[in-house]
Amino acid sequence: MLLHLYFHKLQTCLKSKIKYNTMRLILKTILIFCITAACCINPAFSKQNLSQKVKDEFVYVWNNYKKYAWGYDDLKPISKSGSNWYNKTVCMTAVDAYDAMLLMGLEKEAKEAKKLIKDSLNFEIDDYVSNFEMTIRILGGLLSAYQLDNDVYFLRMAEDLGQRLLPAFNSPTGLPYRYVNLKTGDTRDAINVTSEIGTLVLEYGTLSKFSGNPVYFNVAKNALIGLNSRKDPNTGLPGLLIDIETGEWVFKESSISGGIDSYYEYLIKGAMLFKDQELLKIYDESKKNIEKYLCDTVDNRIWYGAANMQTGTRTRTEFGAIDAYYIPVLLLGGDTVKAQNLMKSCFYMWDYYSMSPEKFNYMTNELLIKSSELRPELFESAYFLWQSTQDSSLITRCEDMLNTIIIKCKVLGGYAPIADLLGNKKIDLLNSYFLSETLKYAFLILNDEPTFDLENVIFSTQGHLFFKD
């Protein structure tokens, strides 16, 4: 019947010489109608195809990594090569992606990644590494791998890494140095970032749980408490940068954004994973201060800006892709309404630029940092919001977002982030979070048949899985 109608229309159009564009529009409408009808008749049809699509894109990236960057930390999708963060590889892409492979049931790829890790990962590296990045990506990846596939190798490697990172905490305040040499234990950079100090407790705490050595949990929790005790007594807000030798803030601007972000995330997630009332109390107080000093409403949309940590006065009205992380934080803290409102704002931002920009001014819509870096936070938020509300429009949204990134970022050597949303230039580096988070959360929301029971899981800031007791 439909086909008949279509051909009838086609004939009519040809006769009346309707332009090619009109024809395309009609054809597109019919196609959308057919797909929608097929999905309504069999909803499983749609979801199965969508989750398979995410898996296909994941495998596409992994195959390019194998071809052009095997053994390196990151894939460079434009120059079709690889690069390392330090003077030796830490197998970042493989370690970060491994649990996503297990979740997606990608057995062949998981075997390849595990072999690469076992053959090449060695922490005897005479270089200064970031305590934060090594923790969220490598320590988190290894511990998640251990919990999912029970191979004790992963735990042994996590313990080795944990031991090598520990000297970072040898400071007068107990707050960690930013960098530590994995071979010598030397440290550097006493000026550290709030999020980098406050985003360790999930991984360190889990290492304590499995190794039986409490030192890891203690140093990481101590860092969180240390940050809390140094918040401004007037506003209760933390700054962005602190001198960990003196305990003095050196950049006194507060926000929920990059540089502070996952500190808040680990207060609530740490409280939940370790049933820690002290962390919960700090989170609850923090939330009140955030609402009081950082939240703005513009045209019925809520945003979070930056403020002077001592006075609470607004310093910037900026928001960006990364800030959507606050939606799952709000959900975990029990504020579903606020989470839904912030989700609307984030979709507004995505729609305005056809992808989430790194930063824009929410008062003027001006683009401030023009790149769009294939970040996970919007998929992550949609997944957790869908979990708590079952709002199926979120699935449609994610499908659209997935299609957009396929169209805009897929290149011959993998996926490349956008350097400038107003132009065509791309960035020649695919961050490992694209596999460990972005595609993982896209898969989770678009998939119906989970391979693991995720009921008791807390996802780390890098998308790794930590099971509650």
Q: Min. distance of Cβ 374 from ligand DMJ in angstroms?
A: 9
What does DSSP say about strands 128-130 and 410-411: parallel, antiparallel, or unpaired?
unpaired
Alpha-carbon dihedral sign for residues 433, 439, 445, 447 = negative
Of the candidates 197, 128, 200, 117, the one whose C-alpha atom is nearest the C-alpha of residue 157 is: 117
CA distance 179 to 185: 10
Q: Considering beta carbons, is residue 208 or 356 the nearer one to ligand DMJ?
A: 356
CA distance 341 to 345: 7
Give the footprint of ligand DMJ on this chain (CB under 6 A).
136, 262, 322, 375-377, 433, 461-462
CA distance 378 to 325: 8
Q: Considering beta carbons, is residue 46 or 195 the nearer one to ligand DMJ?
A: 195
CA distance 428 to 422: 17
DSSP 175: P
Neighbours of 339 (CB within 10 A): 22
Which pair of structure tokens corresponds to residue 171?
A: 């400071």
Q: Considering beta carbons, is residue 98 or 433 the nearer one to ligand DMJ?
A: 433
Q: Min. distance of Cβ 433 from ligand DMJ in angstroms?
A: 4
Q: Considering beta carbons, is residue 265 or 428 the nearer one to ligand DMJ?
A: 265
Residues identified as active-site: 133, 261, 358, 377
What does DSSP say about strands 253-254 and 179-181: parallel, antiparallel, or unpaired?
unpaired
Q: Considering beta carbons, is residue 165 or 235 the nearer one to ligand DMJ?
A: 165
Q: Min. distance of Cβ 55 from ligand DMJ in angstroms?
A: 21
Alpha-carbon dihedral sign for residues 252, 253, 258, 263 = positive
Neighbours of 358 (CB within 10 A): 20
Q: Min. distance of Cβ 376 from ligand DMJ in angstroms?
A: 6
Q: Min. distance of Cβ 425 from ligand DMJ in angstroms?
A: 20
Residue that the structure tokens 């596939």 belong to = 149
Q: Min. distance of Cβ 132 from ligand DMJ in angstroms?
A: 8
Q: Considering beta carbons, is residue 232 or 377 the nearer one to ligand DMJ?
A: 377
What does DSSP say about strands 253-254 and 306-308: parallel, antiparallel, or unpaired?
antiparallel
